[in-house]
Amino acid sequence: MRIHYVFNTQYGDFSDTIILEDGVTMTEEEIEAEKQRRFSNWISVIESHSEIADASPDQVEGETQEVLGG
Amino acid sequence: MAFSDYNWTGATNTRWSVNTNWLVSGSVPLSAPTAADSVFFSGTFTVDLIGTNNCLNLTVSSGAVSFITSSANTLNILGSVSVTSGTTWASTASLVFAATSPMTITSNTSVFPALSFIGTSTYTLSGPLSCVSTTLSSGTITLSSTAGLTTGRFTSTGSTSRGIDFGSGGSVTCNASGGTLWATASLTGFSLSGTGRTVNISNPSTTSATVNVGSSGTPTEAQLPDFNITSGNYTLTITASSKLRNLNFTGTYTGNVNNNVLTIYGDLTLNSSMGLNSGANAWTFIPSSGNTRTITSNTKTMDFPVIFAGAGTSQLNDNMTVGSGRITTLTSGTLSLQTFTLTTGFFSSSNSNARTIAFGSSGSITVNASGGNLWDTTTLTGPLTVTGTNPLVSVTSSGVTTPNILTGAPSEANSISFSFFSSSASVTFGTSAYVRNLTVQSTHTGSVASASTALTVYGNLTRATGSGSLLPSSITFASTSATVRTIASGGATSFFPITFNGVGGSWALSDSLTMSSSYSLSLTNGTIDLSGQTLTVGTSFLTTLGTKALTFSGGTLVCPGGASAFNNAQPTFFTTNFGTGTVAGTISMTGASSTFGGGGSTYRCTLNYGSSSGTLTITGANVFDNITNSVTPCSFIFQAFVINQFTDFNINGTSGNLVNISSSISGYTGQLYKATGVVSCDYLSIIDSQPLTGASWYAGANSVNNGNTSLWIFTAPPVPGSNTGSFFMMF
């Protein structure tokens, strides 16, 4: 299954897909946690280079999600 | 020499050697039969063969003769033998066939004693022959499909010319109760002919049995019979260094086979009820050139080393398992997997011989040792050719010691896919590794590759969510295939530089790809399609000399770096593509002091700047679909003297947070061009910026003109439909 989602930020869109192997499942909570983990990693990579200290939630302007199928 | 026909009378006693027991032409001969005399029996007699006796032909034409022996005996026969079915032989009797011209043996189901063939000529069985044992020292035994030899044991030693002609489907069956059933240690001078060439081993007891075939010397395949281990429950020893053609256990054999060094030229067929003892002695498969030999395991594990050699093809007929502590070696020839999986602790093919791994439509190899060089194809000269739809090696290891994969440097065509699963072990490669697809499944939680490995991927890279990290020193994607290769990082940050360098190759992101801030992405040859995902480079996005393209398909390229964040250093043959879908792609510059080195290329995307209070410098005479800013305040510096073209221009500040637009050289303009329509901005602070004739450029009522801004209009654009704007009304 492929779960596509987007976080809109000042740095541009963080557009990503969680791909689950056949036979592997995740709960909604696990999926949300995985999205947040990836997004946080991304923000920290950008900000470590961009020299912007604060990765406040305010910078996250919106999120969309699309399940692409399994 | 006179030739006489001796007729047995038994007039005196039962002894063959007594002359008065014979009549020759109605008279008692002066001596017992010699090797020149034929002997005849007609009637029911008992004949004692004690001592050494001789004859030419021996015929029992009627009746039932019992050949007994009360002590040591030998009957030398220089001619043919024909007996009735009622003829019996003492098991301790010894018949020696010593013909020097072709002869026949007709047993009519009479079970013969020990036979020894020492003559130089041929003995042809006219029907099935059973005997206690057979020793072939010279001459040829000729069989046929209706005239097989059943013997307790078969022995052939020495170097005299000798052999077995199996005719059309003849066979030898050895059925003694244990011990050495077949003994042909040396096959010098030994030959086989005919078809079938089958030896059946059928030990009716539980006593261990031994088969010895060419264990000394170097027989050719043509000298080797096929062996069928047909039945029994006993331990079978095939003498170390034996060579066999086909070895077949498809009967009801349920015993164990001891581990010895064996060479198999033909087919190997195991059965599911038998056992194979473990050991360190290799079985080597050596099919000859042009031959395809099969291995049918029937679920049995070969817990000993296996070697594929020869010049022909070794082909799996089902899944084959070699012990997890054992190595499978491909020395030469072809290993054909068809649709099956070879599972082995280690696999090695590192030599200079021509050899092939044929993966077929879905064949694969699984290596599963607890550590060490699980896969070793370091030396690929020869070459090592790889064929098949998806050449796949699956890797799992308990990691007692570090599992290592040594791929050598294969071409794309001869590359192999590796998939890591069910392991927490960290897997290393050599200093360089070349793979087709690289897959890290979710069940592999150890890292893959180390900082000492430069990794080249010709195919897809797939790292599952939650799996171990990829930690090579670099990855080069090198596909030259028209097939789009996919890249899925599974949400992991890449701590290594990435290069795309495959002429004609193309890659699509399956998910976002984020590089750590220390590493750059180089695009040399091929096309990267962001496919709606976000690609975040570290130090820079860099183009180098080659034919390359960047396709957005709604995706975003994020460049957080500084002076070389986006560096189109080799714009020749660099293109960008809008891609699929209707959503425009974006290049998002996020560094506090970023440079977009456009190199004068056309960018089928939006260029966005997103670093608050930062500065984006744009160099090159580029063409953009759009330009935007997602933060205020910020600054845009356009290279002086060059023209940047836009389909849309959407840079705006906010109240109290103006966005600066200037040029790279004070006093000289950076030039902007939009062909038609209206550019509508506001809250800008502009200096040294010159739109060219084309669209109308409105800086907005809240923007500041700092000079050298010809053709910027520092008002809001007219409201469409109103007459308060700066439109000429033509009547």
B132-147 residue pLDDT tens: 999 999 999 999 999 9
Interchain pair B465, A51: CB under 8 A = no
Q: Select from A2, A11, A41 the Cβ nearest to the Cβ of B558.
A: A11
To the nearest whole Å, the CA of A32 is away from the closest chain B CA by: 13
Residue B664 lies in a domain: yes
The nearest alpha carbon in chain B to A36 belongs to: B491
**What is the C-alpha separation between B425 and B346, in angstroms, rounded?**
16
Weakest-pLDDT range from A55-69, B31-45, B328-342: A55-69
For residue A52, list chain B residues with Cβ-Cβ distance below 8 A: 592, 611-612
A46/B464 touch (CB, cutoff 8 Å), yes or no: no
- For residue B464, the chain A residues in CB contact (below 8 A) are 19, 21, 24
pLDDT at B652 over 80: yes
Angle at B349 between CA B347 and CA B351, to 5 degrees: 155
Find the CB nearest A24 among B442, B515, B588: B442
pLDDT at residue A62 in the model: 52
CA B531 to chain A, closest CA, distance in angstroms equals: 10
In B, minimum Cα distance to A4 occurs at B511
Please say if the pLDDT value at position B600 is more than 50.
yes
Nearest-by-Cβ selection for B514 from A17, A24, A41: A41
The beta-carbon neighbor of B555 closest among A15, A48, A49 is A15
Element (H, E) at B227: strand B226-231
pLDDT of residue B179: 98
Under 8 Å between Cβ of A5 and A35: yes
B-facing residues of A in 4-33 (CB < 8 A) are: 4, 9-21, 24
Q: Looking at residues B253-277, what average pLDDT do you find? A: 97
Tens digit of each residue's pLDDT (9 = 90 or more) over B530-565: 999 999 999 999 999 999 999 999 999 999 988 899
Chain A partners within 8 Å of B592 (Cβ): 50-52
Contacts of B223 (CB under 8 A, 6+ apart): B187, B190, B191, B192, B214
B350 has which bridge partners?
A: none
At residue B725, the pLDDT reads 42
B465 and A20: CB-CB below 8 Å? Answer: yes
pLDDT digits (tens, 9 = 90+) for A55-66: 333 444 455 544
CB neighbours (10 Å) of residue B546? 18
**pLDDT single digits (tens) B349-390:** 999 999 999 999 999 999 999 999 999 999 999 899 999 999
B693 is a domain residue: yes
CB B303 within 8 A of CB B323: yes
d(CA B108, CA B115): 16
Å between A9 CA and nearest CA of chain B: 8
Count of pairs with CB atoms under 8 A, one residue in A, one in B: 106
Phi, psi torsion values for B303, nearest 5 degrees: -90, 60
Q: Is the pLDDT of residue B320 over 70?
A: yes
Residues in Cβ contact with B578 at an 8 Å cutoff, skipping those fewer than 6 apart: B551, B552, B553, B584, B585, B604, B605, B625
* The two structure tokens encoding residue B324: 């997890």
| In the predicted structure, residue B696 carries a pLDDT above the cut 60 | yes
Residue B667 included in any domain: yes
Count structural domains, chain B.
1
Tell me the Cα Rg of chain B: 44
Are A45 and B510 an interchain contact pair (Cβ–Cβ within 8 Å)? Answer: no
**Interchain contact, A9 vs B610, CB within 8 Å:** yes
Asked if residue B264 has pLDDT above 80, the reply is yes
Q: What's the average model confidence in pLDDT over B123-134?
A: 97
Quote the pLDDT of residue B370.
Answer: 97
User: Do B527 and B501 contact (CB within 8 A), yes or no?
Assistant: no
pLDDT in tens, A9-51: 999 999 999 999 988 999 999 999 999 999 999 999 998 875 4
Dihedral-angle region of residue A37 (phi above 0 means left; psi in -120 to 50 means alpha; beta otherwise) = alpha
Residue A48 with chain B: CB contacts under 8 Å = 517
Q: Which residue of A has its CA nearest to B584?
A: A13
Give the pLDDT of residue B3: 76
Is B694 a domain residue?
yes
Does the pLDDT at position B427 exceed 70? Answer: yes
- CB B610 to CB A42 under 8 A? no
Residues B71, B148: Cα–Cα separation, whole Å: 30
pLDDT recorded at residue B71: 83
Q: What is the nearest CA distance from B258 to chain A, expressed in angstroms?
A: 42
Residue of A nearest to B515 (CA): A45
pLDDT score of B726 more than 70: no
Q: How many CA atoms lie within 13 A of B561 on its CB side?
A: 24
For chain B, list residues whose CB is within 8 angstroms of any CB belonging to chain A.
441-442, 464-465, 488, 490-491, 493, 510-512, 514-517, 532-534, 536, 538, 554-556, 558, 560-562, 586, 588, 590-592, 608, 610-612, 614, 630-631
AA identity, residue B451 = A
How far is A29 from chain B, CA to nearest CA, in Å? 15
A10 and B631: CB-CB below 8 Å? Answer: yes
Residue B626's DSSP bridge partners are B606
Rounded to two decimals, the ipTM of the complex is: 0.83
Cβ separation B493–A41 shorter than 8 A = yes
pLDDT of the residue at B53? 97
Tell me what pLDDT residue A64 has: 52
Closest residue in chain B to residue A48, using alpha carbons only: B517
Per residue in B453-490, pLDDT (tens digit) is 999 999 999 999 999 999 999 999 999 999 999 999 99
Could you give the percent of chain B with pLDDT greater than 90?
95
Closest chain A residue to the Cα of B462, Cα to Cα: A19
Residue B648 lies in a domain: yes
Minimal CA–CA distance to B696: which of B679, B710, B673, B720?
B679
Instruction: Output the pLDDT for position B728.
Output: 41
| Domain enclosing residue B689, as ranges | 632-713
Residues of B in contact with A45 (CB under 8 A): 493, 514-517, 536, 538, 560
Q: What is the model's pLDDT at position A68?
A: 42
Residue B642 resides in a domain: yes
Put simply, the answer to whether B588 touches A48 (Cβ < 8 Å) is no
DSSP three-state, residue A44: helix
Nearest CA in chain A to B630: A10
- pLDDT of B599 higher than 70: yes
Task: With residue B320 as reference, give the H or E element that holds it.
Answer: strand B320-322
What pLDDT shows up at residue B148? 97
Cβ-based neighbours of B504, under 8 Å, separated by 6 or more: B480, B481, B482, B525, B526
Task: Band the pLDDT of B722: cuts 50, 70, 90.
Answer: low
Nearest to B548 by CA among B528, B520, B521: B528
DSSP for B231-255 reads E--S-EEE-TTEEES-EE--SS--S
SS3 category, A59: helix
Rounded to a whole number of angstroms, the distance between the first and last alpha carbons of chain B is: 147
Residue B317 lies in a domain: no
Q: Which residues from A are below 8 Å from B612, CB to CB? A: 10, 52
DSSP of B344-395 = ESEEE--SSS-EEEE-TTT-EEEE--SSEEEEE----TTTEEEESSS-EEEE
Backbone angles phi, psi at B21, to 5 degrees: -90, 5
- How many CB atoms sit inside 10 A of residue B564's CB? 17
Cβ distance B611 to A52 less than 8 Å, yes or no, reads: yes
Q: Please, are residues B78 and B95 in contact by the beta-carbon 8 Å criterion?
A: no
- B390 in a domain, yes or no? no
Query: Closest partner residue to B561 among A12, A17, A49, by Cβ?
Result: A49
From chain B, pick out residues whose CB is under 8 angstroms from the CB of A41: 491, 493, 514
Q: Which two tokens stand for residue B52?
A: 């050494």
Tokens 């171990």 found at:
B468
> Which residues lie closer than 8 Å to B184 by C-beta, 6 or more apart?
B154, B155, B156, B157, B190, B212, B213, B214
- Is residue A38 within 8 angstroms of chain B, CB to CB? yes
Task: Nearest by CB to A16, from B512, B554, B590: name it.
Answer: B512
Tokens matching residue B16: 């063959």
Could you report the per-residue pLDDT of B87-109, keeping only the tens digit for each? Answer: 999 989 999 999 999 999 999 99
Collect all residues with Cβ–Cβ distance below 8 Å to B321 and sequence separation of at least 6: B297, B299, B300, B301, B302, B342, B343, B344
